[in-house]
Amino acid sequence: MSLLYTVAYPEISPADSSFIQKFRQQNDLPYRDVIEAHFTLVFGCQAIKESDYRAHIQDIASACAPIHFCCRYAMLGADDQDDTAYVFLVPDEGYSHLSLLHDRLYTGILESHLRLQIPFIPHITIGTLKDWKLAKSLCDGLNQRGLEMKGVVTTLTVGKLENGTFKNLSVQTLGTPAHAP
Q: Rounded to two decimals, what is the model's pTM?
A: 0.93
Asked whether the beta carbons of 84 and 135 are under 8 A apart, the reply is: no
DSSP 108: G
What confidence tens digit (pLDDT) does each residue in 41-100 have? 999 888 899 999 999 999 999 999 999 999 999 999 998 778 899 999 999 999 999 999
Going from the N-terminus, what domains does the chain have, and what CATH number goes with each?
4-173 (3.90.1140.10)
3-class SS of residue 114? coil
Looking at the chain, the whole-number percentage of residues with pLDDT higher than 70 is: 96
